[in-house]
Copies of this chain bind each other. A is one copy, B any other.
Amino acid sequence: MAAGSVREDAGTAARILDVAEELVQVRGFNGFSYADVSAQVGITKAALHYHFAGKADLGLALISRYADRFASELAKLDAGHATPAARLAGYTGLYLHVVRRQRMCLCGMLAAEYQTLPDPMREAVTSFFDANESWLEKVLEEGRQEGTLHFPRTPRDTARVVIACLEGAMLVARPYGDPDRFQTMATSLLAGLTRE
A97 to nearest B CB, angstroms? 18
A164 touches which of B104, B157, B158, B171 (Cβ 8 Å): B171
Contact with B along A82-118 (1 / 0, CB 8 A): 0000000000000000000000100011011111100
Integer count of this chain's copies in the complex: 2
CB atoms of A153 and B112 under 8 A apart? no
Q: Which of A109, A158, A167 has the most CB of B within 10 A?
A: A167
Tell me if A's interface is mostly helix, strand, loop or mixed: helix
What range describes how many residues of A lie at the interface? 35 or more
Q: Which residues on B sit within 8 Å (CB–CB) of A122? A: 175
Residues on A lying within 8 angstroms of B by beta carbon are: 26-28, 30-31, 104, 108-109, 111-116, 122, 125-126, 129, 152-153, 157-158, 160-161, 163-176, 181, 184-185, 188-189, 191-192, 196
